[in-house]
């Protein structure tokens, strides 16, 4: 009975992965809505340190094909090395209004949201684009985002993003995670299932909607401020939507340990946002599940099931990555897929027993909806 049940579970997991792959391809092929209006936009760009490719990332925003926008760069320390990069890029584009604002004030414990809150009083326009420093875009990006926001009933627009400029094994695993599980999950939830799934690397919304949900002050104590923002927008009776316009998340060099740390941080977020949904994620690692079955019921049948699950999952990964424009050798993709499945499977249970994260040297307990509680320092 064990191997039969195992085969059913693995098949179910592969079917779920296939649905996510189909949803991803469907999202990325959707045409942009017609651009009826192009109101001016303020781009809020929080900075901290020099990310890989930061200068080229910032340059891509000055090259946007959009009639009127400004860029506000925010740091909490005027000596941050990102300041010189931002000013150097801005100096090459005097035609685009931009400012660097240094402000250390805090309205909560989330440093990114504190930075955004300090930028907001300087914004001149009603449309606010929140954009991470490791994002790189194409010229038509803002036209697409604004066109989505102009659709009736839409309150927030976010973007799918692919892992780009990956160097080293950890970064390639991170890119694979972004290009398959993350894009596929966002596409399936927001597209096929009608749920709310927002990743805050790229979000466009109106200032009035932000005020109505409580502003950055409300969001500043959450680890997953982006997802909470999307849920609150939905509670206001507006739709959070995902654009089909793909942007790049430039990764640079990441170690395997850093990849696992990032994965566990996101896993703790998903565990707190949806415990049942996170529990079901184990199915999305069919190679790991099949390997567990092989250990419990060693036989030629379970060995074949493990090999078949690994190859089937690698095929889906290959399709998903090619949908975002990434082509690797088939053998490399298969190897990365298997390593990723096994690492994620081995760490899957950790968020059920450990709900703490270390953020910039401080340890926090992650509460409901990822509300952050600073842990007391040991005496």
Check residue 131 and give its pLDDT.
Answer: 97
Check residue 362 and give its pLDDT.
Answer: 79
Looking at the predicted structure, is the pLDDT value of residue 193 above 80? no
171-192 pLDDT per residue, tens: 999 999 999 999 998 877 776 7
DSSP conformation letters of 44-109? EEE--S--TTHHHHHHHHHT---SSEEEEEEES-TT-THHHHHHHHHHT-TTS-EEEEE----SSS
Check residue 1 and give its pLDDT.
Answer: 52
13-32 pLDDT per residue, tens: 999 999 999 999 999 998 88
CA atoms within 13 A on the CB side of 220: 17
234-248 pLDDT per residue, tens: 999 999 999 999 999
Looking at the predicted structure, is the pLDDT value of residue 2 above 90? no
d(CA 362, CA 373): 11
Q: Please answer whether residues 145 and 245 qualify as being in contact, where contact means their C-beta atoms are separated by less than 8 angstroms.
A: yes
Q: What is the mean pLDDT of residues 40-54?
A: 97
- Of 226, 248, 341, 354, which one is the catalytic site residue? 226
Q: What is the mean pLDDT of residues 341-366?
A: 91
Q: What is the mean pLDDT of residues 53-76?
A: 98
Percent of the chain with pLDDT over 70: 98
Check residue 378 and give its pLDDT.
Answer: 47
Check residue 188 and give its pLDDT.
Answer: 78
Exposed, middle or buried: residue 370 (CB in 10 Å: 0-12, 13-18, 19+)?
Answer: buried
Element (H, E) at 162: strand 161-167
**Is-above-0.85 flag for pTM?**
yes
Q: What is the mean pLDDT of residues 50-73?
A: 97
Check residue 30 and give its pLDDT.
Answer: 87
267-320 pLDDT per residue, tens: 999 999 999 999 999 999 999 999 999 999 999 999 999 999 999 999 999 999
Check residue 376 and give its pLDDT.
Answer: 63
Q: Average the pLDDT over each of 1-15, 42-56, 238-252 and give the range with the smallest value.
A: 1-15
| Residue 222: DSSP 8-state | B
Respond yes or no: is residue 226 known to be catalytic: yes
């Amino acid at each position: 009975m064990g191997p039969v049940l195992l085969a059913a579970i693995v098949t179910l997991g592969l079917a779920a992965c296939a649905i996510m792959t189909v949803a991803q391809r469907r999202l990325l092929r959707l045409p942009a809505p017609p651009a009826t209006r192009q109101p001016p936009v303020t781009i809020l760009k929080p900075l901290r340190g020099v990310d890989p490719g930061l200068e080229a990332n910032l340059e891509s925003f000055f090259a946007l094909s959009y009639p009127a926008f400004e860029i506000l760069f925010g740091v909490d320390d005027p000596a941050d090395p990102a300041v010189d990069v931002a000013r150097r890029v801005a100096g090459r584009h005097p035609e685009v209004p931009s400012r660097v604002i240094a402000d250390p004030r805090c309205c909560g414990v989330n440093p990114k949201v504190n930075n955004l809150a300090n930028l907001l009083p300087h914004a001149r326009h009603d449309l606010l684009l929140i954009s991470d420093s490791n994002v790189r875009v194409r010229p038509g990006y803002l036209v697409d985002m604004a066109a989505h926001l102009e659709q009736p009933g839409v309150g927030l627009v976010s973007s799918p993003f692919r892992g780009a400029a990956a160097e080293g094994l950890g970064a390639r695993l991170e890119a694979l995670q972004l290009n398959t599980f993350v894009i596929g999950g966002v596409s399936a939830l927001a597209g096929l299932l009608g749920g709310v799934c927002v990743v805050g690397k790229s979000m466009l919304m109106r200032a009035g909607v932000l005020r109505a949900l409580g502003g950055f002050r409300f969001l500043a104590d959450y680890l997953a401020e982006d997802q909470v923002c999307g849920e609150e927008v939905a509670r206001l009776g507006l739709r959070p939507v995902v654009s089909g316009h793909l942007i790049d998340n430039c990764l640079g060099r990441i170690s395997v340990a850093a990849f696992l740390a990032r994965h566990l941080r996101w896993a703790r977020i998903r565990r707190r946002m949806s415990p049942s949904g996170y529990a079901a994620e184990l199915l999305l690692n069919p190679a790991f599940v099949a390997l567990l079955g092989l250990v419990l019921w060693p036989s030629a049948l379970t060995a074949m099931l493990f090999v078949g699950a690994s190859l089937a999952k690698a095929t889906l990964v290959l399709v998903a990555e090619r949908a975002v424009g990434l082509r690797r050798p088939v053998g490399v993709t298969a190897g990365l897929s298997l390593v990723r499945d096994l690492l994620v499977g081995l760490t899957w249970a950790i968020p059920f027993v450990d709900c703490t994260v270390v953020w910039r040297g401080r340890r926090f307990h992650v509460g409901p909806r990822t509300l952050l509680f600073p842990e007391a320092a040991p005496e």
